Chain A
Amino acid sequence: MDYDSFLRTDRLPTSWCAGCGNGTVLRAIIEAAHRLGWDASNTVAVSGIGCSGRTAGYFSFDSIHAVHGRAVPVAEGIKLHRPELNVILVSGDGDLCGIGGNHLLHAARRDTNLNVVLVDNEIYGMTGGQTAPTTPLGTKTITAPDGAWEKPFNVQGVIKAHGAFYARSTTWHVRHLAKCLDAAFRHPGFAFVDAKSQCTSNYGRRLGYRTAYDMLEHFKTAYRINDGAQTLADDEIGITA
């Protein structure tokens, strides 16, 4: 397939660090869009703020880089006015679950037909490595030097509580991620793919991972696939029922 036709090649290389998971997610989305025949005439990309918030701007689709936390309502405005447009929303855990958490749960409740891809690296990467809503309990960050003391945000619970589509995968399980995106993009309502991703510069490096590959190896061993489950356990990935 022709990746370049989906990319703003004039903007490459991306601003992301070597070893970042954002590129893997970008590629997986392009492939999924290609499989469905989505193109610039029928598709729009939306992002919020953060490293993964830059994703929208690398697509050759018309793209929107919204303010922090507001990618979801901007995307809803598009979809409500032009239901025929496919809307792909890519953003991070800080943007979608932290500052934008309220919009996320209401969009799920309204079941707006958006395709939301959460690039979940469990940290605020762009701003230097502060605690994120998804940072696991006890993990040390530059704003939680003694370890995060709050329970991480239960994004699966929020999405599924409102009956919306929820799938989880990782940047290691690229074929599984593709399967999740296919199912999400075909879903005729609010669809959410939680893509666990690695931040090497401001997270993994401080947690003792020497390379990006070490972080991917962690995904490989820490998660097992359980498609069709009602609810995924913390160590599972899959498309939930």
Chain B
Amino acid sequence: MAQKRLMQGNEAVAEGAIAAGMTFFAGYPITPASEVLQYLVKRPEVRAVQFEDEISSVCALVGASLAGARAMTATSGPGFSLMQEGIGLGHMMETPFVIVDVQRVGPSTGMPTLPAQGDVMQATYGSHGDYFPIVFYPNSVQELYEYTIHAFNAAEESQSPVILLSDGYLGHLYETIETKRNVRLRKRKRPPLGVGGRHFTGLTSVDNTPTPQDPEAHRRMIARMQAKQREVGARYAHYEYISNRKADTLVVCFGSLSRAVMPLADRYAIFRPILLYPPIEEFSEIAKRYRKVVVVEMNAGQYVRVVQRLMRRTALSLPMIGGDLDVLRLEERLKWITTAS
């Protein structure tokens, strides 16, 4: 059963979360993500709480998730920075929840109302230590809705915090979408708090007992978590690939910027990962068909490093920073970088 509705990107995230059975939301107002919280406080099926900051919001998710909730928060870059310690804790305690980052121009306060993709690296490397988050980045209001549901399921399957990247353009974009009923939801295996004898800690631990000075135990734990995250991530290795036999250049793009690249499909082949991390392995085979690979992103060149590692060769980096989605400028710069190199 599907229903058509005109919806804003941030609202689609909220609706997707409700469809995914979310019961707890904690957040702090921030441009351009505030609509998610504003939308959810009106919904009786969700306990949506405005906390004093993003640190407490993400930590409340850890507690609520351990207590059995399907939990989510939504923020933007400055708040996402504050959430990093809670994300690390969520990984150590293997706690499922979803974090939506509606990216804006940074660093720091930057340009709050303008979109960016500057958190692509922070999404996977923002917290200290080794952890392997699953990160999605849709490019339409419909996809925001669907990938919010996927993010909840991936969180349950991996028992870890899953990141859903959005951006100021997508978050405020209105499009007609199809909502779903009877969504298939993954169930939690671990019983909620109230069993006894279990100890959830940020310390490296074995069988509910901290082992803070056992290198072998730590290596085993990290290897297990890495394998688990790869395995679950591989189930969601979603991407869009527009092949082009006449083109010698493959353009890699994602999120709102990919919407501006799509009209250029007559000139270039286009690869759009929807799962950013763990990186999509199939990409290396696709990239072999093209002489040049350009990674165009609204940052100074973050995901290009991932792309190069997958291909094991050099890619061209085309930064489109500044928050203006200028299609003509993008077209010009793509032409310039592919002819100049």
Residues of A within 8 A of B (CB): 8, 10-11, 39-42, 44, 46, 56-57, 60-67, 70, 72-82, 85, 102-103, 106
Contacts and interface: CB of A to CB of B under 8 A. Distances in A.
Contact of A57 (B65, B192, B195, B199): B199
Contacts of B200: 62-65
Given A66-B89, A73-B63, A78-B193, 11 more contacts: A44-B67, A57-B210, A61-B196, A63-B200, A64-B200, A65-B200, A67-B89, A77-B66, A80-B49, A80-B60, A106-B51
Contacts of A46: 63
Contacts of B123: none
Interface in B31-48: 47
Contact of B60 (A8, A61, A73): A73
Interface stretch (B136-144, B201-209, B312-320): B201-209
Contacts of A78: 63-64, 66-67, 193
A62 B191 CA distance: 11
Interface centre among A42, A65, A85, A102 (most CB of B within 10 A): A65
B195 A62 contact: yes
A62 B193 contact: yes
A202 B194 CA distance: 36
A8 B209 CA distance: 10
Interface in B51-67: 51-53, 55-57, 59-67
B203 A65 contact: yes
B124 interface: no
B60 A74 contact: yes
Contacts of A106: 51-52, 56
Nearest to A10: B209
B233 interface: no
Given A65-B202, A106-B52, A60 B197 contact: yes
